[in-house]
Structure 1
């Protein structure tokens, strides 16, 4: 049985958001498949509010970070081959949310109740796919509207679980996310890949 997690990225993906799940889930025996609009190397970024700037920042500053390579393009993905979906943040979701192949993929995971983990701006992809109506989630504060304008309920908490949907604000909250995520993935394995049954935490 497959033990694959899909992680979509693009240029401007936040590297702490992205690299931690790549390695943490691999530790548990999952293959994290990094996908993009094309198979190539993508530019990662680091987002933070600089702590010691003489002029304060009201929003995160972006600077270059590591690069990461995808192994499959969105158009070639059969989402039935994957146990779960991890939507990382950064600026990448701002343009990835227009990719119809990716939206088809995201919708698959919600429709079948497979585990979906979202951090920060990753919520923009679930919103664009029409998957947040009636769902409760958290995100970084500046993305609250990406939940509420699409019929969802925003909660200002570090970590929120709503059935198959797990969300956290930023990578700073990851310590709360991964144990429940792994439990949900284990339950998905028990149900069988592609089982049309909603997972309830």
Structure 2
């Protein structure tokens, strides 16, 4: 089984954090959920984003999620794969130089990376998308294109794999994204 690193943070999308974390654990993989400036046992706040017929998603407060590993103590060489959930957390996580270094390590080492919704904002900031076919929440399309990637417009329940990178537009894509990600593990 694989050891997966999940980088998450306050106001991550609830489902995109909880469902893959729990599903990968249920399959027998080890998953360490970390957040900069937090340690194992600390919690992060999540948000629930829903599609209710408005021009964009709505947002509601979600659950508290307990981290199970300490960001400052992680060794990237201990992990086989990386998972980056979406929501609002990627907005500020991409400003952290250590987060960017970690993402670049996984890309350079050609280890599997999965990212959903706004999670690809972290990949664009890390400069690892050039030449890739990438899906994300549609609002991320401009920056994906500026990063030199081809934005792939998928239904909300679709996912795409390009090499060792799996991306998807939003939480309805969990079955497709997880199936493709686990195939790479």
CA contact (8 A) 1:115 1:165 kept: yes
Deviation at 1:50, TM superposition (A): 2.7
Structure 2 gap ranges (5+) = none
Partner Cα distance (2:141, 2:71) in 1: 27
Which residue of 1 is the match for residue 132 of structure 2? 135
Task: Report SS of the residue matched to 1:65.
Answer: strand
Does residue 184 in structure 1 map to residue 184 in structure 2?
Answer: yes
Are the equivalent residues in 2 in contact too, given 1:75–1:101 (CA < 8 A)? Answer: no
1:96 and 2:72 equivalent? no
- Per the TM alignment, residue 72 of structure 1 is displaced from its structure 2 partner at its CA by 3.1
Q: Does 1:86 align with 2:101?
A: no
Q: Alpha carbon RMSD of aligned pairs, Å? A: 1.3
- Tell me how far apart the structure 2 counterparts of residues 73 and 127 of structure 1 sit (CA, whole Å): 25
- 1:75 maps to 2:77: no
**CA–CA distance in 2 between the matches of 1:59 and 1:28?**
33
In structure 2, the residue matched to 1:24 is 23
Residue-by-residue CA offset, 1:136-190 (whole Å, 9 max, x unaligned): 11011111122111111101022111000011111101221222211210xxxxx
Aligned twin of 2:165: 165
Q: TM-score, normalised by structure 2?
A: 0.92
From 42, 45, 55, give the equivalent of 1:43: 45
| Pairwise CA distance, 1:60 | 1.2
Structure 1: which 4+ aligned runs deviate by more than 6 Å? Answer: none
- In 2, the alpha carbon distance for the partners of 1:73 and 1:100 equals 17
CA contact (8 A) 1:74 1:102 kept: no
Q: Matched residue pairs, number?
A: 179
For residues 73 and 101 of structure 2, what CA distance do their matches in structure 1 show? 12
* Corresponding residue SS for 2:119: helix
Alignment TM-score, normalising by the size of structure 1: 0.85
State the 1:42 CA deviation.
0.6
- Return the offset for 1:71: 3.0
1:73, distance to aligned residue in structure 2 (A): 3.8
Structure 1, gaps ≥5 residues long: 52-56, 186-201
Task: Provide the secondary structure at the position in 2 that maps to 1:6.
Answer: strand
User: Does residue 106 in structure 1 map to residue 103 in structure 2?
Assistant: yes
Q: Aligned with 1:72: secondary structure?
A: coil
